[in-house]
Homo-oligomer: A and B are copies of this chain.
């Protein structure tokens, strides 16, 4: 007992003068300098009850010492990791990089780092890394981006482990997790109105995979939007691609261009499909938008880079990234109700759509 008290005294001595550790001031240094207990400092740092005088003294001392708290220690004490996981099919996805910017922004305000996981890093689907995260609880929460049907087991594991989870733009109906997405139906309707206003009557739709919720909602929006303008979307002109990749758009184009085009405007399930279509169409000498107008969804940056620029629907992607992060932090702080946040979309008109030469 006595020896222990002495040891403690020695420690305090050390903290006082020599700063034996990394040289950086700790909560103890601050406490001592301010003449209060460490717990008071801790309470102050976390915004709990502290007397006016102590508060003033502490702000002063902290400033003076240039003290910054150790989040590692805090996390250890709290049983946290100070790190959230972000999961996406491929970090190459351009829409995702915009989302990432929003996440990054929000993360930088807290002291939380992030771990990235691409489900398809090396060409084939492999969710094991993420499964490790949840099993070993290497992250305090996860943001699942654009998850699909094949991710169901993964999602299940997250909820099962009671790991705070936020899904962004899920292409699946999900429950028991926060969701941040855009208004796909409105997006479809907006495109519809744009094309109808230009005078298009014969419009085709080339979606992503048929079971994709995004595709279905966008298609519904398109159909309804056209009907509102008295234009009918002929089911014969509706088709689906195998994926959302540009390759699938190329394939669709190669297929459809075997016969003469019987439509004046094409709406695709997303921008990548549109770009793929445009690439092949141009290769075939088909002029856009003179011969056919093209519109997509997502507003990926490439759309603005090529000629003609792609008319598309923009989501407030960065804002959605920030929101996802905020929701995740809320969920980590106190697991509560699951919310669904729906964001409005915007039409971006570029050169790929124009009045039809002959309706």
**A residues at B contact (CB < 8 Å):** 21-22, 24, 68, 70-73, 75-76, 79-83, 91-92, 94, 97-98, 100-101, 104-105, 107-108, 111, 113-118, 121, 129, 136-138, 246, 275-276, 278-280, 282-283, 301-302, 305-307, 309
Q: A72-B81, A282-B307 are in contact. Are A116 and B100 (CB under 8 A)?
A: yes
17 interchain pairs, CB-CB under 8 A: A22-B79, A68-B136, A72-B75, A72-B81, A91-B100, A94-B94, A108-B117, A111-B138, A113-B113, A113-B114, A246-B305, A275-B306, A279-B305, A279-B306, A279-B307, A282-B307, A305-B306
A229 to B3 alpha-carbon distance, docked (Å): 84
Q: Are B307 and A305 in contact (CB under 8 A)?
A: no
Q: Name the distance in Å between A241's Cβ and chain B's nearest Cβ.
A: 15
A35 to B260 alpha-carbon distance, docked (Å): 80
Q: Name the distance in Å between A218's Cβ and chain B's nearest Cβ.
A: 21
Q: Are A97 and B101 in contact (CB under 8 A)?
A: no
Extra contacts besides A70-B76, A104-B121 (17): CB < 8 Å:
A22-B79, A24-B137, A68-B136, A76-B76, A82-B83, A91-B97, A91-B100, A91-B104, A92-B98, A107-B115, A107-B116, A246-B305, A275-B305, A279-B305, A280-B307, A283-B307, A302-B302
CB < 8 Å neighbour of A73 from B22, B76, B121: B76
A61 to B94 alpha-carbon distance, docked (Å): 45
Complex A-B, nearest 5 residue pairs according to Cβ-Cβ distance, in ascending order: A113-B113, A282-B307, A83-B113, A279-B307, A306-B306
* Chain B residues, CB < 8 A from A108: 115, 117, 129
A101 to B138 alpha-carbon distance, docked (Å): 20
Closest to A129 in B: B108
* Chain B residues, CB < 8 A from A24: 137
Q: Name the distance in Å between A268's Cβ and chain B's nearest Cβ.
A: 14
CB < 8 Å neighbour of A307 from B21, B91, B129, B278: B278
